[in-house]
Amino acid sequence: MTSDNAPILITGGAGFIGARLARRLARLGHPVTVFDSFTEQVHGNGSAARAGVAVDGISVLHGDVRDRDLIERALRASRARTVIHLAAETGTGQSHTEPAHYVDVNVTGTARLVEAIRNVGGVRRVILSGSRAVYGEGACVDRAGLRVTAVARREADLAVGDYAPKDRVGRSLRPVATAADTPAAPTSIYASTKLMQEYLLTQGLWGSGTHVGLLRMQNVYGPGQALSNPYTGVLSVFARKISEGEKLEVFEDGAITRDFVYVDDAVEAFVSMVQTPVVTAQPIDIGSGKATTLLEIAGKLLETMEGDRDGLHVTGAYRPGDVRHALADISTAKAVLGWRPNVDLDSGLVRFAEWAAAAPKHAVA
């Protein structure tokens, strides 16, 4: 169990979700320490990110999650009873071209964190910012309505415009909402490293008295995304292109679906996980519970940001590791955490668009 106002350490706490979460927890009375590497791809020169998070009494430590000595110092300095692990490299496409780097940061970094927690002691709870990517194509049913595990889509199918998820013998499947009872089947290097983070924490902290909570996040969006970082999310890429008058390129046939959850709702999921008396061993899926096609979201953002109505191009292109559909079953989050999303997509896009129109490339909300 956690105690009220217990000290919290957030790895990656100066990032998109982390900075908002740090400020939220500080306002709730928690002593908060942020541990972040302030990488240029995410933060630019890092000065704006530091200024954005070094408020409300929040302590900021500069360090790499792969450096065990620095993590141990952070744990001791913060006297953390809860650690929220957000530090990670993100991006399906980049992980394909830089696999060693993704494994180093996401896997080795998490292993170092486990070692540090065991060595320092005192941490009662670790909360991982996981990813729905671990499911791969996610939950699907066949023509009879029976649950079937989809396999990774074949390049030969994608090349001829056959984008549907399929079973092992090549029969097309219908996607449905994905929950934690869906078998993990990562289709990208990024997804595999996120699944390994879960294994490292749950196996590495077994028997230590440190309880592990897993939140599997869908596509989080909102003010604070680094608009110049091509791996921070499709909406930030679209927003940058709209602001620069470029045409939006939508992959495949435009019917790829994603579950977009507003950043403040995502933050509240972490707060709920901090406050819940008992951490469940079952991963909890966090999303809006609604699927939106990329073509639809591109059109909505163009309209919201008053872009060129003809500024869309469905390319037919595809990327290794991409999944066709993503949609969260959020019933466990509602039942276990009492959490539910409060910001609908249209309202969230207005807030995001207003911020993106005025924000510098590396601004932190």
% pLDDT > 70, the chain = 93
- Active-site annotation holder among 102, 135, 190, 221: 190
pLDDT tens digits for range 135-168: 999 999 999 999 999 999 999 999 999 999 999 9
- For 65, counting Cβ atoms within 10 Å of its Cβ (0-12 exposed, 13-18 middle, 19+ buried), the class is buried
- What residue spans of 171-254 are helical by DSSP H? 189-204, 234-243
pLDDT confidence of residue 359: 74
Look at 2-11, 68-77, 253-262 and tell me which has the smallest mean pLDDT.
2-11
pLDDT tens digits for range 192-233: 999 999 999 999 999 999 999 999 999 999 998 877 776 678
| Active-site residue flag, 199 | no
Asked if pLDDT for residue 49 goes beyond 90, the answer is no
- What residue spans of 109-254 are helical by DSSP H? 109-120, 155-159, 189-204, 234-243
pTM, entire model: 0.94
Domains and CATH numbers, the chain: 8-358 (3.40.50.720)
Q: Which two tokens stand for residue 324?
A: 């066709």
Give the pLDDT band of residue 360 (cuts 50, 70, 90): low
CA-to-CA distance for 225 and 70, rounded, in angstroms?
Answer: 27
pLDDT confidence of residue 230: 66
CA-to-CA distance for 362 and 43, rounded, in angstroms?
Answer: 6
